[in-house]
Structure formats: C-alpha cells, structure tokens
C-alpha cells in the first residue's frame, strides 16, 4: 500500500491504529483522505475484517462521499465496512432491539410538522393553548434542546418556581406518552432510545460492542452529549477509537454540539495519542496567517497553527462603505471587474454573511448589478413567512381581489376571525357571487357570520381601505411602519414563545423589508406601491429562474459555509454588533463567534476580501458602526489597504479612475 502522498502527520494518523486517538484536523488539512486511507490500511495491511470497522459521520452526503472514495480505493474489498451517520446507526439498532423498550420494530419516525401537530393537540386538550406562556413551536424547540443534552420531562417539572417550565414538562410528558401509543419516535429519540438500550439492557448490546473492533468518528467537534455517550459504549470493549475533528471549527453550540467532548478527550481517555494535522492544502499562507491570528485569541482551544507550502498569495482586501448599500455596491463592482479582467467564473465567488437578514440587500444589489447568484442553506429573503405575511398586506391593499393574500392575513395576527366564520363568509361569496373582501365590508348584514367575527371583518376591511388611501398620498416606508404597527405583526413576532435567536431573526427580516422599501423610495421617488410590488414579484420570479444557472455567485451564512471552499471569498458586515453578533455575545460569549470567523476566513483558497459599512440603518435611525474586533487581531501588513486606513482624496480619485478604466477597457474587448 503506497502512502508516499501523505505528509508525516497524515501518515502517523493512518498507521496509528491501537487505542484512543484524537486527530486534530485543521481546516483544509485533508481529513477525509486520512479517514479513507486509515480504513484501507486496516483492511489491507493489518488484515482487519471490514465488518469490524465502523465509521460515523454527521450527514448522509458525507457518508456517501466516503463510501464512493473507499470503493475507488479498495475496489470491492471494502464490503462489510459500515459507514453511517449517528442517526442511521441508531435506527438500525432500534429495529433490532426496540422491543426491549416497549415499542414494536415497525415504529415510525415523526418529522417536525408531525411533532408540532402532536404538541398542539396536547395543548388544546389540556387548555394550555391560550395560557400565553407557551406555544407549540416553542415547546417543540425546548423538547429538542433537552433531548440533545440527554434530559427528559423531569428536567422541566423539577423547576417548580417557573410555571412556564412546569407546563413545558407536562406537555413533554404527555408528548412522549402519545408517541409511544402511536408506536412512533421523533428524530432526537433515535439517539436517546439507542443510548437507553446500552444503559438499561447492557447484555443485549454486548454483541454490538464485540462486533466493532475499530470505531472512527468524523467531525467530532460537532457531537452532543448523547452522541458522546453512545460512542463511549461502542468502543468500551476494544478501545480502538479514532476521532477526527477541529475544536477551532466548533460552531454549532446553539444546536446542541458540546465542544467539551473534544477539549476533554485527553482527560476522558488518558492513554490517548494526539496527532495534529496542521499542513493546509487549500489556502495561501497570507490567508492562513489571518486565520491563525484570529483563532489564537481563544483561550479554550487545543494549540495548533495552520501552514501551507503554497506561494504567499496576494494581500487581503478591505472594503469600507459609507453605508450598507455602498458597501455591497463596492463588493458587486469588484466582482464584475474581476470577472471581466481575469475571465473568471461567477461560481468562483462566495459572499458570506453572519445573519440571514443581511441577505435581502445582498440579493438586491447583485440583481441590480446583473450578477447571477444562488442562495445556499437559507430561504430567499422574499420567500420567508414573516416577509410574505407583510407583503400580503400590501398586496391586498393594492388589489382587494387577491384572495390568496387575503386568506393569509385575514386572521393574522389573530383578530377573532376563525375557520367557522370564514366558512360562513365563503358561503355568502358563493351565494352572492361577491369576492371575500366585499363580504367583509358588510359582514354584519349576513346572519350566518357570528356577530363578533363580523365586526372584526368590517374593522379589517375599513383598515385596508384606510391604508389604501394613505399609500396613495404618503411616503411608502412610513405608511408600512404604521400598518404593521396597527395590525400588530411586529408585536406578534416579538411576543412569540420561541427561542430568542429565531425571534430576533424574524423581527429582523421584517425590519429589513421596511429598510428595503425606504431604499426603493429613495431611488425611485416617483414610484408607487404598485411599482414596488411589481419589482418584488419580478425579483422572486427571476430568482427562481436563476437557480437553473450554474455560473452563479454563492451567497450563504457562515454556518452554511462550513465544509466548503471557494477561490474568492467576501466576508461582508465585519462590524461590531453584526459580526460578532450581539445576541450571541450576550448568550454564549465571544469564543464561538471567533471560531465562526475562523471558519469564514478558511473558506478562501486564493483571495479574501472583508468589508463593512460605517453607518447602518437600525429601525428608524441610522447608527455609526465600528470595525469588528476580529479585524484588530489581524496584522495590518496582511492587507493591501489596512482596515480603517485613511486614503487622501488624490488616492481615492486615482483608484476610482483606474478601476473604471480597467472595467470599460475589458468591456470594449468583449464587444
């Protein structure tokens, strides 16, 4: 078996097979290659039976990729090796042994909507729906978080000083009873019940402990406590455990991942060997220096420093706009110039951002610049529920006959117009051949519609007519703010019993819609509501069409970018409060945000550009911004123009003139 293509550390990771081993695989260090070669080494050199090898990763995509690469490597000799996700392994074990827990082997797995439906039914049956303390989505989130930590209903029921926690515990208890009665489990139950088998029916699991002589775990930094405990059970007999991960890329704490699993590995396995993969095959030394300087500021990490044999590479770029619009216009302009100047593909570029609400302006800027793009890992801004809800009000105001939008908002936020009342209103629509809005205007004249609901319908219709007149006479942005305040949409979002991060995002999207409308008015003062709605409609249509085009700039959050790489990366919004995100700082501190920055920097292969806006609109006011603290960690010598550096007017004019000259020169060549 030829291992000459491996560096010394990779070779050590492949050939060290006995006992616990932690492979600290830095970004771009070839960890997948190591895992594949290690399995191949076990089979070809050490003559280990393939069926005695278990490799666990987090996604089915990663598992499939490893299976294909192992197939190419071993040409059939890999048959019997189990490459699986934690959850796939759990389901497999539960199918064999779940009868021990009082379930039947033909159990079903409920998805998110199924789960929320069960929770909502329980709340209705126990008169908890109108308590004001909990809601189905919020309870679902808390149950999921508890299960990730291996906690059950008692965790909530024991907190007797909190009525809300007690109610969550009551619903949680009944939820588990209902699921079991249906012979159903949820996604989190897969691992919890598997762990229960190991803990309560240890003898039945002994053959499994004996079966797997070698256990490998990929992306170890992303494991939660339940997965850690399962791993410990699986390797209990033979102790040949190899975990591969990077504590510097642990960015899913909000999803239950526990960085202690990797940081405490030496404590949990005192005989463990630690192997560091620090040679990076992805990025230039300049980019790696920046990444190292940022992440080295974290006190809770395992020391390592990425390096590369590649040429030094070009300096980092810095873009600073007077506001967000200018920042992103400069980003778009740079992409256009570089594509024309160097003949690059749009797919070579990625724009990474901290929070989803930033996507609206990025999308609009790229569209206005004629740059094709795709959004990965998130819903397009205008396809988000809260944005669609707000736009539905505008559409009904513009066109009363738009009954799709009318049905969407007539009882959202709740105004006492329930399903029964709508059924009766629709009866009169059919009887009198009138649209629903016309029935709503005179609802009290129709006896079948309950009086209170009829009054709400008339009030709603009057409000729509009132705002229709205002949109014809006043500034669009201001009227929209008043409208959403009057109907209580923002208030509804702010008071929903959901996790704070989700709540903040949803409110942020609506606020971003308002800012977008303000920008539209500024750029098009003669335009009206109809023009804006037409623009949004065309925007979303174009967005769907552009998804079919492969040559696109990629837009994604930093969380979605993990595991990916691009030749040219833009990190936008590098300002305090945006990145690092203020709520994340308040809740979990700085370290995970810093790791997220590290992940963003190490996505770039050849060139990295960072940017910020000096001012940003926040609600109704414009606020000044300061540079992200992460920029101060990077040596200014790594930048072509240091962040915050002042250029005199002559330099700015020359730079602008040169850029414009290059752009138009290239454009003429293409004509």
Is 249 annotated in the active site? Answer: yes
Three-class secondary structure of residue 143 per DSSP: helix
Is 541 annotated in the active site? Answer: no
Residues 6+ apart with CB under 8 A from 593: 579, 580, 581, 584, 585
Q: Which one of 9, 10, 31, 135 is the catalytic residue? A: 31
Is 2 annotated in the active site? Answer: no
DSSP calls for 558-605: HHHHTT--EEEEEE---BTBTTTBHHHHHHH-SHHHHHHHHHHHTTEE
Is 297 annotated in the active site? Answer: no
Tokens of residue 139, six digits: 């309870």
Q: Which one of 603, 605, 616, 617 is the catalytic residue? A: 603
Angle among Cα 383, 384, 390 to the nearest 5 degrees reads 100
**Distance from the Cα of residue 350 to its chain's centroid:** 16
Residues 6+ apart with CB under 8 A from 100: 197, 200, 201, 204
Q: Which one of 12, 15, 17, 32 is the catalytic residue? A: 32
Beta bridge partners of 279: 307
* HSE, side-chain direction, 13 A CA sphere, residue 479: 20
Is 31 annotated in the active site? Answer: yes
Q: Distance between CA 184 and CA 178 in Å, rounded?
A: 8
Own/partner pairs, 370-374, CB within 8 angstroms, 24+ separation? 370/336, 371/332, 371/335, 371/336, 371/346, 371/553, 372/346, 372/546, 372/549, 372/551, 372/552, 372/553, 373/346, 373/546, 373/552, 373/553, 373/554, 373/555, 374/546, 374/547, 374/552, 374/553, 374/554, 374/555
Residue 255 vs residues 148, 250, 332, 595, 624: alpha-carbon distances, Å: 8, 11, 33, 15, 32
Instruction: Tell me if 115 sits within 8 A of 140, measured CB to CB.
Output: yes
Q: Which one of 142, 174, 189, 218 is the catalytic residue? A: 218
Is 218 annotated in the active site? Answer: yes
Q: Which one of 37, 249, 293, 609 is the catalytic residue? A: 249
Burial class (CB in 10 A: 0-12, 13-18, 19+), 96: middle
- Which positions are catalytic? 31-32, 218-219, 249, 603
């Amino acid at each position: 078996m030829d291992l000459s293509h491996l560096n010394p550390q990779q070779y050590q990771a492949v050939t060290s097979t006995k006992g616990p081993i932690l492979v600290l695989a830095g970004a771009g260090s070839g960890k997948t290659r190591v895992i594949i070669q290690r399995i191949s080494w076990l089979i070809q050199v050490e003559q280990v039976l393939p069926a005695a090898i278990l490799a666990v990763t987090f996604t089915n995509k990663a598992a499939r990729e490893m299976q294909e690469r192992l197939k190419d490597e071993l040409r059939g000799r890999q048959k019997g090796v189990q490459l699986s996700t934690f959850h796939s392994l759990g389901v497999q074990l539960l199918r064999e042994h779940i009868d021990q827990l009082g379930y039947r082997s033909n159990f079903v797995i409920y998805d998110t909507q199924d789960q929320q439906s069960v929770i909502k039914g329980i709340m209705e049956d126990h008169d908890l729906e109108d308590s004001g303390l909990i809601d189905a989505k919020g309870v679902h989130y808390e149950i999921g978080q508890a299960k990730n930590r291996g906690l059950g209903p008692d965790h909530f029921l024991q907190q007797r000083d909190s009525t809300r926690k007690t109610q969550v515990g009551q619903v949680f208890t009944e939820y588990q009873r209902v699921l079991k009665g249906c012979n159903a489990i949820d996604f989190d139950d897969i691992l919890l019940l598997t762990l229960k088998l190991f803990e309560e029916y240890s003898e039945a699991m002994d053959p499994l402990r004996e079966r797997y002589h070698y256990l490998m775990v990929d992306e170890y930094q992303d494991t939660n406590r339940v997965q850690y405990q399962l791993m410990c059970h699986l390797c209990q007999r033979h102790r040949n455990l190899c975990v591969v991960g990077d504590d510097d890329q642990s960015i899913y704490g909000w999803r239950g991942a526990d960085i202690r699993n990797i940081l405490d590995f030496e404590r949990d396995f005192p005989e463990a060997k630690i192997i560091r993969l620090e040679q990076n095959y992805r990025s230039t030394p300049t980019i790696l220096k920046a990444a190292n300087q940022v992440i080295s500021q974290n006190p809770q990490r395992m020391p390592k420093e990425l390096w590369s044999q590649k040429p030094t590479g070009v300096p980092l770029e810095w873009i600073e706009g007077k506001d967000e619009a200018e920042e992103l216009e400069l980003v778009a302009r740079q992409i256009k110039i570089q594509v024309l100047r160097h003949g690059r593909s749009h797919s070579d570029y990625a724009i990474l951002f901290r929070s989803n609400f930033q996507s609206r302006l990025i999308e609009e800027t790229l569209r206005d610049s004629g740059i094709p793009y795709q959004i990965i890992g998130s819903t397009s801004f205008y396809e988000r529920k809260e944005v669609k809800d707000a736009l539905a009000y505008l559409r009904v105001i513009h066109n009363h006959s738009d009954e799709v939008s009318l049905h969407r908002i007539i009882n959202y936020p709740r105004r006492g117009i329930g399903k029964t009342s709508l059924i009766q209103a629709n009866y009169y629509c059919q009887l009198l051949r009138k649209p629903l809005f016309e029935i709503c205007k005179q609802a009290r004249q129709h006896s079948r519609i309950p009086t209170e609901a009829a009054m709400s319908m008339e009030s709603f219709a009057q409000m729509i007519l009132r705002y229709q007149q205002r949109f014809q006479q006043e500034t669009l942005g201001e009227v929209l703010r008043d409208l959403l305040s009057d109907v209580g949409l923002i208030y509804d979002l702010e008071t929903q019993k959901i996790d704070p991060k989700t709540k903040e995002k949803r409110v942020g999207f609506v606020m971003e819609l308002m800012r977008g409308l303000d920008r539209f008015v500024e750029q098009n003062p003669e335009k009206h509501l109809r023009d804006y709605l037409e623009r949004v409609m065309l925007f979303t249509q174009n967005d769907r069409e552009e998804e079919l085009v492969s040559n696109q700039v990629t837009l994604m959050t930093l969380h979605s970018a993990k595991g990916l790489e691009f030749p040219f990366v833009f990190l936008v919004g590098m300002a305090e409060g945006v990145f690092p995100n203020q709520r994340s700082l308040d809740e979990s501190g700085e370290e995970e945000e810093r790791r997220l920055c590290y992940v963003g920097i190490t996505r770039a292969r050849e060139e990295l550009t960072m940017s910020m806006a000096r001012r940003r609109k926040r609600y109704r006011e414009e606020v000044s911004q300061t540079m992200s603290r992460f920029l101060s960690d990077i040596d200014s010598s790594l930048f072509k123009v240091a962040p915050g550096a002042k250029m005199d007017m002559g330099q700015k004019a020359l730079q602008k003139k040169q850029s414009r000259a290059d752009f138009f020169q290239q454009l003429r060549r293409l004509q």
